Amino acid sequence: MAAHAKWWYTLQASRSEAVLAVDLYNRTAAERSLEAFVVHMHMAWLYLHHARFLRDGTDFRYRGENGRFIRVDGEIKTWELSRCLLMSFPSDKDPVRANVEFFIKIRNKIEHRYEELLATVLSGKTQAHVLNFEETLIDWFGAKEGLGDSLRFPVFVSSLTPDAVQLLKKTHQRLPRGITSFIREQDDALPAAVSGDWRYDFRVLLLPQTGPKSDSDVVMRFVRDDEMTDEQREARDVVQTIVRNKQVAVQNKGKHKPGAVAKIVSDRLGVKFSAFGHHVAAWKHYGVRPERNDGRPELTESKYCVWDEPHDDYLYTDAWVRKLTVELADPSEFERVTGKSQERLPGKP
């Protein structure tokens, strides 16, 4: 039998790293499981890229100004994962690239004493990380190389119990402020279409399936939006609306009235940003709250805005302020969102 090409062996190393990463992550009470997952998935992604480059004849070796290869400890230096991503996912709005880049950054921020808590907080991004790898693996090398036969849906209880949401909130509170701030800033820096994409952060609503079971049924099915029928989408939206209708506890700490939001954004951007003109246009554009006479004032995007029932008005979060300062720093985006050009404030550069 003929020997395999060099890229095939690199591909098998990639697959082995991914399987090992998930295995270590899922081991009960294993120490430093999140760190092990991040490290081995990093290698899996790196080898996956290198296998593709080898197969396609892409030179991924670094050269100096003299054209000679750069060497480290005698070995030719090759592209690191960050450089590989720029080649494979050139758009900075690609949710797969954003997810991998997040784990590249979080790798150096994992504190061992908080690792178990962090694993809970990052579970959605972790799941997306593995799913993205599997989809990319199949897309580049075919279904026969997929990991479907090696990985199984894990058996767990912590996320399925009625008090899971409260436990997750408490977990957030126990993490160091530096880590939670880092995660929040990474999310807020992304366009809403990217941060809300399942390929960046995998979030699911689990509903037990009832009724007779046929021989062809499986325990879990993942249905993408583009695979749903109109009836399925309508049912999903109804469920999401019911969930959003639940009363969200309102705490004024860290919340801002429109005037305060406008002042902060104006100061940070150095441009005029009014509460009753620019800000109204912004919340309408991004759809963070309903219109005043909508009749359902509680249907807000709670990450950015909450309805204050006792005062019958809306308050806006720090995340909303950060989103505005990031998104509207671009003059063209400012005009697209508010319908007006930026006006520099006197004395501002």
Of 154, 172, 195, the position where a domain reaches its end is: 195
Is the residue at 244 inside a domain?
Answer: no
Is the residue at 218 inside a domain?
Answer: no
Most confidently modeled range among 242-246, 248-252, 263-267, 309-313: 263-267
Q: What is the pLDDT of residue 168?
A: 56
Whether 263 and 156 share a structural domain:
no
Whether 160 and 51 share a structural domain:
yes
For residues 76 and 69, is the Cβ–Cβ distance under 8 A?
A: yes
Of 195, 220, 238, the position where a domain reaches its end is: 195
Regarding pTM above 0.75, the answer is no
Is the residue at 204 inside a domain?
Answer: no
CA–CA separation, 90 vs 79, rounded Å?
15
Whether 74 and 176 share a structural domain:
yes
Among the listed residues 77, 42, 41, 55, the one whose alpha carbon sits nearest the alpha carbon of residue 11? 55
Whether 27 and 118 share a structural domain:
yes
Mean pLDDT of the region 24-32: 71
Q: What is the pLDDT of residue 215?
A: 54
pLDDT > 70 fraction of the chain, expressed in percent and rounded:
73
Whether the pLDDT of residue 242 is over 50: the answer is no
Whether the pLDDT of residue 160 is over 60: the answer is no
- Computed over every residue of the chain, the mean pLDDT equals 81
Whether the pLDDT of residue 77 is over 50: the answer is yes
Range of the domain at 31: 6-195
Q: What is the pLDDT of residue 111?
A: 59
Among the listed residues 158, 227, 228, 225, the one whose alpha carbon sits nearest the alpha carbon of residue 196? 225
Is the residue at 329 inside a domain?
Answer: yes
Whether 59 and 165 share a structural domain:
yes
CA–CA separation, 126 vs 150, rounded Å?
17
Is the residue at 85 inside a domain?
Answer: yes
Kindly report, residue by residue over 199-210, the tens digit of the pLDDT.
Answer: 898 876 656 666
Domains contained in the chain, number: 2
Between 223 and 148, name the one with better pLDDT: 148
Whether 13 and 157 share a structural domain:
yes
Whether 109 and 18 share a structural domain:
yes
Is the residue at 234 inside a domain?
Answer: no
Mean pLDDT of the region 251-262: 81
Q: What is the pLDDT of residue 243?
A: 45
Is the residue at 344 inside a domain?
Answer: no
